[in-house]
Amino acid sequence: MATAINDLFQITEQLSTDDVPALRFLCSDLITAKSQEKIVDGKGLILELRKASLVEEGDCFILAELLYWIGQNKLLKYMNVTKEMVQEQLQNNNVSRVSPFRKILYEVSQDISSDDLNNMKFLLSDKFGASLENMVKLNDIYDIFTAMEKREMLADNNFEELKKIFGQMSPRLLKKIEDYETHNKGISGDAVQGQLHCHFIIYCMYSISSSWFVSELTVLELKDCDVIPLEGTEYRMASKPRGYCLIFNNLNFERLSTRTGTNADAKALEEVFCWLGFEVKRHDDLKAAEMRAKLEEYGKASHQGKDCFVCCVLSHGEQQCVVGTDGEKVEIKDIVSCFDGKKCPSLVQKPKVFFIQACQGKEFQESVEAQVVRLESDDSGIYRVPVDADVLIGMATVQECLSMRDVRSGTWYIQSLCRQLREGCPRGDDIHSILTKVNEEVSKEEGTIKRIKLAKQIPEPRYTLTKKLVFRVP
């Protein structure tokens, strides 16, 4: 026990004053900006990584990886690993947690002189809208990179402003960026994340479990391996936030009926996905063009440091589409394609989940006996969309049939979905099991539409998931 404490102490004590800002920057996609502000030394870094569940989820290899990237290979001995062992893991097992975007910027930072730094501050002062005095407060190159990111002047798919600056002051640095863009065209930094081998996880957890920043963790035993997903069997779900959850909630239409009851669905979705650790973005009453613009906005955004993406659409629809409040169509295939591997590389190999609350036709699913419930329907057409890997689309009903919406309590499908997520996620149920229970629950519902037609409903999930998807409760 004492050895582990002493080893960690030695690592944190031997980090230089230049190492800590570099490590903090390399972790920018993994921990929140607020947490980064607390990191002033090596001890603070390890504490914040643990708070972000990066250590608790079996990703303690991040400590070895970070030391490797900043060239502090001599400190790896305190973790009983070598430079060669880390290289082998990174090359053969796809376990890197640091994005290529961070790596190239770190590499560039090592070639920036104090004169280069001052030149960058001068060239950026107008664009930042700051005086030279305020620019001096940017202590190092990492502060400049971070400030550029905050102003959307720098991103994993946008180096244009940085290239303009380097073009004026350093052809050498410009070539580094251009070489990176050429080599990494169409490749996501998050596409190479994976799981560690079980023996490596056991070792790392053992090495840190007794240290000063963990409150009485027991040593991980072999029998505990079943709580660590085997490589390739389960999607990672540990980032904070888990990812974006977009909710399009259309209630009032120019030419179509008001979707009374939809606000109950939107509220239920907001609450459950906030509880599951997502950053929820709700948009009410959007026209078709506005919906497309929002989808494109989030499709172009960086999802690095996030493990999942969820999009919920609550609206009327027509054949193969949903509609905006102006009655114009938004093709379902276009909704999904905004987040495919080509348009959104930072979501490659991450689950992309779409819940579509709308009918898929005008046919009724009839029942012999029906309860008297005031229902309406969300007319929609047949849905056929070619989807990429790692996509789940939860449709409210099967092809060519209506889906039911209670004007007081919301739709059968969304209300059941939220209920089953709340019940199943704490148990560790995967999404397939949860949606099966949703099908069972919704299939038992019966009612009438406008007191004339008896109706039933059965939802239909469609997916190309390649692993188990479990929404872990934070």
Residues annotated as catalytic are: 316, 359
Of 446, 297, 427, 445, the closest CA to residue 369 belongs to: 446
Helix (H, G, I), strand (E, B), or coil: what is residue 311? strand
Indicate the pairing of strand 410-411 with strand 404-406.
antiparallel
Q: Are 406 and 378 in contact (CB under 8 A)?
A: no
CA dihedral 78, 82, 87, 89 (to 10 degrees): -70
Task: DSSP for 73-105, please give it.
Answer: GGGGGGGT--HHHHHHHHHHS----S-HHHHHH
- Cβ(400)–Cβ(380) under 8 Å? no
Asked whether the bond before 474 is cis by omega within 30 degrees of 0, the reply is no
> Is residue 382 a contact partner of residue 400, using CB atoms and an 8 Å limit?
yes
Say what the alpha-carbon torsion angle 193, 198, 199, 201 is, to the nearest 10 degrees. 60
Strands 447-449 and 374-377: parallel
Q: Which of 36, 46, 35, 38 is nearest to 8 (CA)?
A: 46
365 pairs with which residues across the strands?
456
Residue ranges of alpha helices (H) inside 360-472 are: 412-424, 431-443
Separation between Cα atoms, residue 298 and residue 308, nearest integer Å: 13
CA nearest to 306, candidates 29, 28, 25, 26: 29
269: Cβ contacts below 8 Å, ≥ 6 apart: 245, 247, 280, 312, 355, 414, 418
> How far apart (Å, rounded) are the C-alpha atoms in residues 412 and 362?
17
How far, in Å, CA of 16 to CA of 146, rounded?
A: 21
Tell me how far apart the 2 most distant CA atoms of the chain are, in Å: 82
Hey, what's the torsion of the CAs at 132, 135, 137, 138, to 10 degrees? -150
Measured from the Cβ of residue 418, the count of other Cβ atoms closer than 10 Å reads: 23
Residue 465 near residue 392, CB atoms below 8 Å: yes
Tell me the C-alpha distance between 405 and 415, whole Å: 10
DSSP class of residue 218 equals P
